Structure 1
Amino acid sequence: MVKVEIVDEKESNSPYASGSSVASSSSESLSSVDSEISNDESLFDRLAALVDIVPPTTRHKISSRVASTGGFLKSTGKVLGNVVWIVTTSALLVGLPLAVCLEDEAKVVAQEKESLEQQAGQQMLSTGMYPSSSSTKPLVPPGF
């Protein structure tokens, strides 16, 4: 059962109680309402209170879209991570030995070239022929 109580307006401290003048009571009510606002309320608390403004169906749609987007990004990131892993390990296992092999072969070719030049220089010294820049003629086959 509901109990009904009669409250005298003059005895209550309500800001909405009718006072002696209407203007003074309205300004009193505004000042009392401002002072009652809690300063401990954070921005997160205020945003959390806005949840009730958005209808449940809209909240569900937003939540499901965010969840599906998050799942898509997670799976895409996992696939991209696997691809990067495969490429990196393949480059290390195949590319690095290949690069070392090519470098060794280039060294061997350079050593062969150097030894051929040394042999040519020794032949010139032993025969006494020195190439001079003034007596060299371009080699052109006859008939040109």
Structure 2
Amino acid sequence: MVELREVEDEHFVNAQPAPSDDEDYTDTESEISGDDDDDDLDLEESFYERIAALKDMIPLKQRTYISNGFSKTYNFFSKGFTLGGKTLWILSTSALVLGVPFAVAITDEQQVVEMEKEMKMNQMTTDALTPGAESVLASPQK
């Protein structure tokens, strides 16, 4: 048969000292520097080390789930941006290959139309100045 016996911890057996009374001591001229010492100890730990220490707090199954979620999201946006970039490249080069010659053709056509208008205006001016003379551009009369 097993016999159970209570073992008391020495920490609880020893009497704890009472807090000292600091009410009698007043020193308003000195600066408290105890807080500065604590801050120096925290600065030695890098941000990466803090994040790495958090992995122990999250169970492996949850970490795997979160990691897979981030990986899928990254892959989705990566493929989306790649496809978008390729589509934009195809559209822009097609617009340049087809659009520039079309714009040049339209400009040439407008120049031809303007030249025809100018020639008609010159013919009308010549006819107005010399009413009985034949125009070079006019067809001969029979």
Provide the TM-score with structure 2 as the length reference. Answer: 0.64
2:17 to 14, 21, 36: 21
| Aligned position for 2:65 | 61
| Aligned position for 1:123 | 127
RMSD: 2.7
Partners in 1 of 2:93 and 2:71 — Cα distance?
A: 33
**SS of aligned partner of 1:54:** coil
Partners in 2 of 1:75 and 1:35 — Cα distance?
A: 45
Percent of aligned pairs sharing the same letter: 36
**SS of aligned partner of 2:43:** coil
**SS of aligned partner of 1:81:** helix
Aligned length, in residue pairs: 104
Partners in 1 of 2:57 and 2:127 — Cα distance?
A: 99
Provide the TM-score with structure 1 as the length reference. Answer: 0.63
| Aligned position for 1:75 | 79
Amino acid of the residue matched to residue 78 of structure 1? T
* 1:53-104, Cα deviation, whole Å (9 max, x unpaired): 1111111111001001111111111111111111011111111000001001
| Aligned position for 1:93 | 97
Distance 1:59 1:20, change over 3 A: closer
Partners in 2 of 1:123 and 1:47 — Cα distance?
A: 93
